Amino acid sequence: MGNVVVVGTQWGDEGKGKVVDLLAARAELVVRFQGGNNAGHTLVVNGEQTICHLIPSGILHKGKKCLIGNGVVVDPEVLLEEIKKLRAKGVSVGPESFSLSEKAHLIMPYHRAVDLAREAAKGKDKIGTTGRGIGPCYEDKAGRTGIRAVDLLEPDTLKEKIAGNLEEKNFYLTKFLHAEALAFQPIYESYLSMAEILKPYISDVSLEIDEAIREGRRILFEGAQGTHLDIDHGTYPFVTSSNPVSGSACAGAGVGPDKLHHIIGIVKAYTTRVGAGPFPTELLDETGDYMQERGAEFGATTGRRRRCGWLDLVLVRDAARLNGLSSLSITKLDVLTGLKKLNICVAYALEGKRIEHRPASINKLALCSPIYEEMPGWRDDISSARERDELPREAQRYLKRIEEIVAVPLSIISVGPGRGETIILKDPFAPSQ
């Protein structure tokens, strides 16, 4: 059986959590390979909502092993709070069901302090970071001064690294950002305390995955954010600090590219983004408000209102290329119910020319006007549909046009937030024909 990678094709918030939850029922291991707790996957099971920020959402399925790979940056406080909340819901979260890569970098209090102070200093030019310390943590990782999970097992190493980093960070905080300095001892003691709880979970995740592959077990790799928030390929600088594209599953989990068999791209039936940055199909009218309200478009992590607009297939087509997509999963199709007409952006107009790929220049993207194809909408409730041909004719045409323009087939269609409100066209774990 194959291994599957789930990625977002837009600016995140595509509904990856539900798809991962569905696919986790077929997988035996679920691996998170990048990002941090600046993302959240919202799941609705038996009418109850659960939001996972770090632990893969497969944890809600009994008998699954969930792993956080080395490509993730982990805030130990957030992780322990998440474990606590899951246990309060009756979910088993022990070393038999969850592992943390010993190579994963840790978010420290000074990372959060720098993140918040920087945004405050930028004023109207702020990027829109969540203030969770994600970017500064990745900076230390690249600068070779980061603290990893394995350092929690070596108190002397931990002490030395915190002290060295804090000297530099306090200088930066106080002298440049005009913020408060942080004290060493409370940080050191807090992380020592958390280390005692986390020790049983820390392991070589790459070896665990390799053993599972050798045993022929099915593995699901899940990313956070979306392709156009990628640090290299996204709308820089309005991006995240890691690589949400499918290739990152290899580096962020410790596996070779030959171990990834099916790449499924999650596409929200319309487009949203949180925070600043150009958004060619954004709707600042009643239709945008309709999408926002019906789709409950608020960030799972921050609670921020998401900007809404028509489906931008320029973005999705680029994502198909960058990720090597095998299939698409359409989410929140039900949100569009009730709209008389729908628009699909098939290209941009820039300086009098038609372009079919997103420009790298953020200034040029801001000048792009969407070129739309108009399609009829539908009014019938679609939440009870379990086969593609049970959908209204207009909804079927909308989906078919997406497949034609992106040149990638559909495998899953979500017609509501619940697990059962789904149309499965193809099992991504099934061997390729």
Burial class (CB in 10 A: 0-12, 13-18, 19+), 94: exposed
Total-model pTM:
0.93
Q: How many CB atoms lie within 10 A of CB 334?
A: 21
Which of the residues 21, 41, 261, 262 is marked catalytic? 41
pLDDT confidence of residue 433: 46
User: Is 41 one of the annotated active-site residues of the chain?
Assistant: yes
User: What residues of the chain score a pLDDT lower than 70?
Assistant: 1, 39-47, 125-128, 300-302, 432-433
Q: In CATH, what is the architecture of 4-94+204-424? A: Alpha-Beta Complex (3.90)
pLDDT confidence of residue 6: 97
pLDDT confidence of residue 107: 98
Domain 105-201: assigned CATH number: 1.10.300.10
Domains 4-94+204-424 and 105-201 share a fold: no
Question: Hey, where are the domains in the chain?
Answer: 4-94+204-424, 105-201
pLDDT confidence of residue 301: 62
pLDDT confidence of residue 276: 87
pLDDT confidence of residue 322: 98
User: Is 13 one of the annotated active-site residues of the chain?
Assistant: yes
